Homo-oligomer: A and B are copies of this chain.
Amino acid sequence: MYEDDFGRPGLSHMTVAGATHHGMKEIEVWLQTFAPGVGTPIHRHSCEEVFIVQKGKGSLYTEAEAGKKYPGKPNEFMISLNTTFTIPVNRVHQVKNTEVEGDLQVLVIVSGPPIKVFVYKDWHTPHAAAVLQFPYPWDAPCLQHEKGNFESDYVFDEL
């Protein structure tokens, strides 16, 4: 289990149980830590997600009303130690450390790895303009590795 910011200053991501390292096919578990002012992008994905706050405080923002062309002004929920929340499939959301000091740490559980994430520039970005990020940063080396394995298996079969 290794820790990296994956190019996002103020983020610490660890895959606790993942597709590549532990052969998970149906669920992944991550431990993510956000420095003050740092959060996830505004995003949606077609998997189920559960967050459990491990330490710190922050806010969860979720799309207030589905079915419009863009998310619009979100609902805000205060989160702190042991706050648990589930994100419905394709609901646009963001988790952010809104404090001026102290880390926000969350345990994240997602279904159906590897995750496909659509990222929004802001809450008025049209759903159709959200940008697919796949593979997601922490899955990239894993997928590369799997691809490598697949190719060598394929070559081996031809011999």
Contact = CB atoms under 8 A, between A and B. Distances in A.
A52 interface: yes
Interface string A10-42: 000000110000111111010000000000000
A112 B26 contact: yes
A47 interface: yes
B26 A47 contact: yes
A152 interface: no
Given A22-B86, A24-B86, A86-B24, A52 B16 contact: yes
A107 B29 CA distance: 12
Contacts of A17: 50, 84, 86, 109
Contacts of A16: 50, 52, 84
B27 A111 contact: yes
Nearest to A50: B17
Interface of A: 16-17, 22-27, 29, 47-48, 50, 52, 84, 86, 88, 107, 109-112
